C-alpha cells in the first residue's frame, strides 16, 4: 500500500507537539515520514524544549525512544517527554492535515536557546526607522541610533552604542539579556517587562559596558566589567 504524504501529522499545541500517526502504517515507514517532515521544519526548533504526545498508533517503549531520539537529532531540541496522548481522539481528522512549518511552533513556546541557540550577526549602523529582528539571538556590530529598533527571541548584544528601542526575549523568555558597550536605549524590554532609560547627566559617549536582565519582574542594569 502506498503511503500518502499526510500519513504523519504534527500539530502544534500550547503545551508542545502532538504527533498523529495512522494505526495501520508500519513503524519503519512512520519513522521515514517523521524524518522527511523534520528535514524541512526541524531548524526552527533548535534550542527549544518540547513535550511530545502521540496518537493513532500504539508504540512500544523501544519505538517511542527511537522516534524521540530521531526528533532530538533532527531538530536540535530537547525532547522533554514523549508519551501517548490519552486525552484526544485517536484518529486523524481531515482538518489536521495542515502542513507543519515549525515556525508556528516557535511562536507558541519561547526560544530557549539563549546559551547556545541560533544567532544572527548584523554588521553596520541601525538607523532611525529601521527594525532588525530575529527568532533567535541577535548580535549587532555597530551602533543603534535613536529611532532604530532591535527585536530578538533570545539575547541582544550590541558591540557599540544602543540608543534606540530594544526588545529581547520577544516571545516570552525572561532569561534573555541585553548587553551593549554603551547602553542608553529609549526603551528596553525583556519579555513583557519594560523600562525606559533614566535621563542621566553627563557624557553619553563613554564606553561603559552594561548588561540588562530581569529579576522579580523588574529590569536591572549593571556593569559587567569589574
Q: What is the pLDDT of residues 101-113, one digit of tens each?
A: 444 444 446 788 8
Q: What is the pLDDT of residues 175-216, one digit of tens each?
A: 999 999 999 999 999 999 998 755 554 445 567 899 999 999
C-alpha distance from residue 88 to each of 1, 9, 18 (Å): 27, 14, 10
The pLDDT value given to residue 99: 38
Same domain? 10 vs 104: yes
**Domain count within the chain:** 2
Same domain? 30 vs 76: yes
- Which of 63, 79, 108 represents a domain boundary (last residue)? 108
Residue 114 domain flag: no
Q: Are 136 and 120 in contact (CB under 8 A)?
A: yes
CA 99 to chain centre: 20
Provide the sign of the torsion angle of the four alpha carbons 146, 129, 169, 68, taken in this order.
negative
DSSP letter assigned to residue 63? H
The pLDDT value given to residue 202: 44
Decide: helix, strand or coil at residue 60.
coil
- Strand partners for 141: 123
The pLDDT value given to residue 44: 65
Same domain? 42 vs 100: yes
Strand-strand pairing, 119-123 and 137-141: parallel
User: Which residue range forms the structural domain that includes residue 216?
Assistant: 119-223
Q: What is the pLDDT of residues 45-66, one digit of tens each?
A: 777 788 899 998 899 999 999 9
DSSP letter assigned to residue 209? -
Higher pLDDT, 139 or 3: 139
The pLDDT value given to residue 103: 43
Q: Please list the alpha-helical segments (H only) found in 85-196.
A: 103-108
The pLDDT value given to residue 90: 47
User: E strands of 56-202, at which residues?
Assistant: 78-84, 119-123, 131-134, 137-141, 149-152, 156-162, 165-168, 178-183, 187-190, 193-195
The pLDDT value given to residue 96: 38
Amino acid at each position: 500500500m502506498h503511503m500518502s504524504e499526510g500519513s504523519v501529522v504534527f500539530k502544534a499545541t500550547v503545551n508542545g507537539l502532538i504527533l498523529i500517526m495512522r494505526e495501520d502504517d508500519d513503524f519503519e515507514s512512520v519513522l521515514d515520514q517523521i524524518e522527511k517532515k523534520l528535514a524541512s521544519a526541524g531548524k526552527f526548533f533548535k534550542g527549544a524544549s518540547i513535550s511530545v504526545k502521540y496518537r493513532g498508533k500504539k508504540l512500544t517503549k523501544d519505538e517511542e525512544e527511537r522516534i524521540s531520539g530521531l526528533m532530538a537529532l533532527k531538530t536540535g531540541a530537547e525532547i522533554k517527554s514523549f508519551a501517548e496522548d490519552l486525552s484526544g481522539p485517536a484518529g486523524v481528522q481531515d482538518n489536521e492535515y495542515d502542513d507543519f512549518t515549525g515556525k508556528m511552533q516557535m511562536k507558541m513556546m519561547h526560544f530557549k536557546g539563549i546559551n547556545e541557540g541560533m544567532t544572527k550577526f548584523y554588521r553596520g549602523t541601525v538607523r532611525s526607522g529601521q527594525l532588525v529582528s530575529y527568532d533567535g539571538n541577535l548580535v549587532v556590530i555597530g551602533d543603534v541610533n535613536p529611532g532604530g529598533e532591535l527585536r530578538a527571541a533570545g539575547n541582544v548584544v550590541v558591540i557599540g552604542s544602543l540608543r534606540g528601542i530594544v526588545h529581547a526575549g520577544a516571545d516570552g523568555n525572561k532569561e534573555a539579556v541585553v548587553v551593549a558597550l554603551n547602553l542608553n536605549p529609549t526603551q528596553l524590554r525583556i519579555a513583557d517587562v519594560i523600562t525606559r532609560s533614566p535621563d542621566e547627566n553627563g557624557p553619553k559617549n563613554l564606553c561603559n559596558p552594561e548588561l540588562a536582565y530581569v529579576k522579580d519582574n523588574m529590569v536591572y542594569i549593571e556593569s559587567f566589567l569589574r
